[in-house]
Amino acid sequence: MNSTRPSTFTQYRTLLAKDIRREFRTREMLTAMGIYAVLMLVVFGAALATTVAAFDILQMSGGLIWALIVFTSLLGLTRSFSYEKEEGALEALLLAPLDRSVIFLSKASSNLLFLAVVELIALPLFYFFFLTGSGLAPTFWMTLGPLIVGTVGIAGIGTLLATITMGTRGKDVLLAVLFIPLIFPLLYACVCATTVALLGSEMIMDTYVPSMALAIGYDVVMILVSWLLYDFVVSV
Amino acid sequence: MMTPETDAENRSFATDLPVVEVHKLSKSFGARTALDNVSFSLPEGAFLSIFGPNGAGKTTLLRVISTLERPSSGAVRVFDLDLKEQPEAIREHIGFVSHRSLLYPDLTAEENLEFTARLYGMSDPARCATHMLATVELTARRHDLVRSFSRGMTQRLAIARALICDPHLVFLDEPYSGLDPHAVEILDELLATIRQRRSFIMVSHDLQKGFELSTHVLMLAKGRKELFAERSELAFESFANQYHAAVGMEVA
């Protein structure tokens, strides 16, 4: 049987398909993240139960949405490499003739996909629990921008950090300690952009555009750095 | 211009060039020296068994030669390719069997093999998987999750995974670890059938079995080479005595 060196895209597709097949068979990450997101909504509901009448919840929604996304993604990221380590399958990937940045791209893509699936479930629930009857602004659709850019950044930066921490004893805590400070500029920009899009004032673009520029710039730089560092990080 | 990949493809694997050449190799992890100035050369078709007590550096040596670890100093050439310069070209022609399976427990046997075949660019991954499943006598369990396999079956599948890319050099890191006697028999038969055209480097704690299988033996202690010789030059008893002397034990 002959072999020819497969293209980078073929290897990327093979790795991604493996992650998707495994996840949709076990539903390990999706179930954990989904349940966690719903529980966070319940906690938000309890926390806001007495303040809702006096306070415009729209003002807080941007922050709450991103708290939901960040903590849910942390849970998924810590699990994204656990099955690669279980029987040493990651070593088999490192022994294969492939550029190690392909492992990063495929793992970041699968993390992005799983986080997006959870957001597709959790965010409509958030709307249903907290925003129905709030009178959404016509700029509501603009929340899609920070949601996409923020989720891409979280998946990219989180994949690098999950790789760094996967072999450590206190990986759950260490990942959170590294992840939240590192994504803070992205998180801040996304919270601002999401909040102004939900509120929809006349001056929306004065905040939305610079916030999105910061978020996109931060994504590009950090994902590029992660991609370049990955060979070193995964080999250590 | 010839790329490292085509260079490796065009390389004859039946030349007089050593399949592995290790020159003054050292590897340290922080202040701890795992390998200290190790040198040896292995001819094509050889079966090298590496012996030594725990912490002697056997697995580290295997991991360095197989490109999983970078050497701290010294030079390693595999198929006459430089380990530091052309690791990807080397990886195309090696297989690795560990005491861990390196498989995905939540994928089926067939899915695991097809996945590996695709990564290595095999022309027909499904056919490759079918062929290898038949070789390790797991065709009947092809659709079962690896998680449901016994230790022996998992190890057979791990060997199929390692051989699916038709490697010229196979690394075996304690492949008999945790196997029952029947599984050991099956693994022995399997190794006998796959020895043609291939070279092997095996780490083993089983002196008798490692010695029987080998054409060359390497003994390590505290990261240093204590002995490297062709097996034909050694009698098992004298080898065992040397081994026990090196690890500071008395022969029973």
Q: Is B199 exposed, middle or buried (0-12, 13-18, 19+ CB in 10 A)?
A: buried
Which residues of B are less than 8 Å from A24 in CB distance? none
Q: What share of chain B is helix, strand, coil (3-state, %, to 5)?
A: 40, 25, 35
What residues of chain A lie within 8 A of the CB of B70, using their CB?
235
Residue B73: Cβ within 10 Å count: 11
Question: Does residue B10 register a pLDDT over 50?
Answer: no
Residue A122 has pLDDT above 90, yes or no: yes
How confident is the model at residue B249, as a pLDDT? 54
Residue A111 domain-assigned?
yes
User: Residue B2: is its pLDDT beyond 60?
Assistant: no
Please answer whether residues B72 and B37 qualify as being in contact, where contact means their C-beta atoms are separated by less than 8 angstroms: no
| Cα gap B48→B18, rounded to integer Å | 13
Q: And the tokens for A14? A: 């093979």
A219: pLDDT strictly greater than 80: yes
The verdict on a CB contact (< 8 Å) between A96 and B119 is yes
Identify the band that residue A4 occupies on the pLDDT scale cut at 50, 70 and 90.
Answer: confident
Mean pLDDT of A96-112: 94
pLDDT for the residue numbered B250: 41
Compute the mean pLDDT over every residue in chain A, rounded to the nearest whole number.
90
pLDDT score of A68: 96
The answer to the question of residue A2 being in a domain is no
List strand residue ranges (DSSP E) for chain A, in order: none
Residue B57: DSSP 8-state: S
Position B53 confidence tier, pLDDT thresholds 50, 70, 90: confident
How close is the nearest chain B Cα to the Cα of A154, in Å?
A: 26
Question: Average pLDDT in the B170-174 region?
Answer: 92
Q: Which two tokens stand for residue B221?
A: 């202690």
The reply to whether A3 falls in a domain is: no
For the cut 70, the answer to whether the pLDDT of residue B113 exceeds it is yes
Q: Is residue A1 part of a domain?
A: no
Contacting residues of B for A88, CB less than 8 Å apart: 98, 100-102
Q: Is the whole-model pTM more than 0.90?
A: no
pLDDT for res B176? 85
Per-residue pLDDT band for B245 (boundaries 50, 70, 90) equals confident
Average pLDDT for B193-219: 89
Tell me if A188 is assigned to some domain.
yes
Best residue of B118, B127, B154 to probe chain A, by most A CBs closer than 10 Å: B118
Q: Is A40 domain-assigned?
A: yes
What is the ipTM score, two decimals? 0.88
Residue A172 lies in a domain: yes
Nearest to B120 among A94, A96, A235 (CB): A96
Could you tell me if residue A166 is inside a domain?
yes
Q: What is the pLDDT of residues A26-63, one digit of tens each?
A: 999 999 999 999 999 999 988 887 765 555 788 889 99
Write down the pLDDT at residue B36.
92
> What is the pLDDT of chain B when averaged over all its residues?
87
Higher pLDDT, B110 or A207: B110
Alpha-carbon gap, residue A218 to A185, rounded angstroms = 8
Q: For residue A20, which residues of chain B lie inside 8 Å, CB to CB? A: none
pLDDT above 80: residue A162: yes
Domain count, chain A: 1
Residue contact A3–B122, C-beta within 8 A: yes
B4 pLDDT tier (thresholds 50, 70, 90): very low
User: A134: domain range?
Assistant: 8-235
Per-position b or e across B227-246, b if 16+ CB within 10 A of its CB: bbeebeebeeeebbebbeeb
pLDDT band for A168, please (50, 70, 90 cuts). confident
If pLDDT is split at 50, 70 and 90, which confidence band does B64 have? very high
Tell me the CA distances in angstroms from B23 to A202, B19, B46, B181, one per residue in order: 72, 13, 18, 38
What is the reported pLDDT for A116?
A: 97
**Model pLDDT for residues A127-145, shown as the tens digit of each residue:** 998 888 777 788 889 999 9
Q: Which residue spans within B47-180 are E strands per DSSP?
A: 47-51, 73-78, 81-82, 94-97, 169-173
For residues B169 and B89, the answer to whether their CB atoms sit within 8 Å is: no
Q: Which residue among A6, A18, A86 places its CB closest to the CB of B115?
A: A18
